[in-house]
Structure 1
């Protein structure tokens, strides 16, 4: 029986693969078969050298990392099946690295976006004032969210203008904070925090209702 047809039948019967998945696998595996014909090889004769050239062939056709990885996934599945069935003694794909797509740089917020985000909380509410103070502090200091949320009252020096967060490995550092953020933190401490604080979190700077 044709190895591709047998493999696709296994995917359908044992794994319940969808028609679209089967169609994509068939297309990729027939492309691999065409490549092997050019190499004057069959599925059983292909080795690591052929697999390396196959990946280069896919690249020369203009395929990106994700597409190459998809083709390689289909071929790997076929060879795992052939190995399990005893048709081949060694999987020629076992030492191939799956291509990884390039990492995208995170999109940065514009100044307009930052201002809109900071001004989102409803400062007429205690929890909104808390959130505004937190956002102002994050923007002014560059603290991680976990560091800011982990601050305690004694970690904040409003008169000197700095906070002392605890980072990874329980390491502490002194971080300067701008006047505007300090003003919002001071307002939060005076008017909103006394309303929100619970006994169990008495020492925590930013508290829940």
Structure 2
């Protein structure tokens, strides 16, 4: 079989049989595309010709391009799973990735907004306008729930259970979870639904919660672009992304005494080690507060 056909079959397997999200499959596709381009460049026409040295040379070439450590780790993971699939499908006889160690991941603490910065950001949207009211409601939901940007973009009206103070969402791996939402965010969502969304909808039919100016579903890219402009308006100099609000949500509730297991459930983390990153962040912030406030620090 041709290399491209095998990759296409694998991506179909991930999407249909494994049930992975389109974003996750797209990430695998990008990684494998880079690898296949490298193989073509080096005149390697089948996967059974791929040796440990070929993989190492490919990874070295990516490192020389100044690709981030996290991206290299993801490449190795993608290749490891792909070659395991090739073994299971009897396309190759030996797995070159078994002989390659995964380098240690560099732990980098995520950027977090202070409570004052969150307040400044929330005040930016002009709520007298339809889009401004939408943006305020969306920012309130993001900070109140810690939802991922893709989860925010995919929220539907049927996912709202505001009378119960709960939002239903589908996270990574198509896992459903229920997330509490506070009274302040509920109020802003209610205002948006009553005063703003009908104007944006323009007599169309759309089941998604957050809409753009044309009455269509607001995309992840649209949310990202709007947030960047709002951060500039707020005068915040940190590198803020939609994920920063998720980090801020987790850090602030931990600092106020939330149990780590509860935070894991709220964030939809499969592994609690992912959630533990926030305890390091919280301790770092507590140390900074201590050093700035204690007279003998």
TM-score for the superposition, normalised by structure 1: 0.50
- Contact 2:31/2:78 (8 A) holds in 1: yes
Structure 1 residues 1-209: aligned runs within 5 Å: 2-41=5-44, 42-103=46-107, 107=284, 109-110=287-288, 113-114=290-291, 116=293
> How many residues end up aligned between the 2 structures?
119
**Higher relative contact order (Cα pairs below 8 Å, separated by 6+ residues):** 2
CA contact (8 A) 2:48 2:93 kept: no
**Greater Cα shift, 1-10 or 18-27:** 1-10
1:43 deviates by 1.9
Give the aligned partner of residue 187 of structure 2: none
Question: What is the CA deviation profile of residues 48-85 of structure 1, one whole-angstrom value per residue up to 9, with x for unaligned ones?
Answer: 11011011011011112210011111111111111001
**CA separation in 1, counterparts of 2:74 and 2:48?**
21
Q: Structure 2 vs 1, CA of residues 113 and 83 (structure 1 numbering), >3 Å: closer, same or farther?
A: same
Distance in 1 between residues matched to 2:86 and 2:292, nearest whole Å: 59
Root-mean-square deviation (Å): 2.7
* Alpha-carbon displacement from aligned partner over 1:188-209 (angstroms, at most 9, x marks no partner): xxxxxxxxxxxxxxxxxxxxxx
The alpha-carbon distance between structure 1 residues 67 and 32, as it changes in their structure 2 partners (threshold 3 A), is same
From the superposition, tell whether residues 104 and 69 of structure 1 become closer, same or farther in structure 2 (CA, over 3 Å): closer
How far apart, CA to CA, are the structure 1 residues paired with 2:35 and 2:66? Answer: 16
5+ residue gaps, structure 1, are 120-138, 140-209
Q: Deviations over 1:162-199 (max 9, x none)?
A: xxxxxxxxxxxxxxxxxxxxxxxxxxxxxxxxxxxxxx
Give how far 1:101 is off.
2.7
Point out the structure with max Rg over C-alpha. Answer: 1
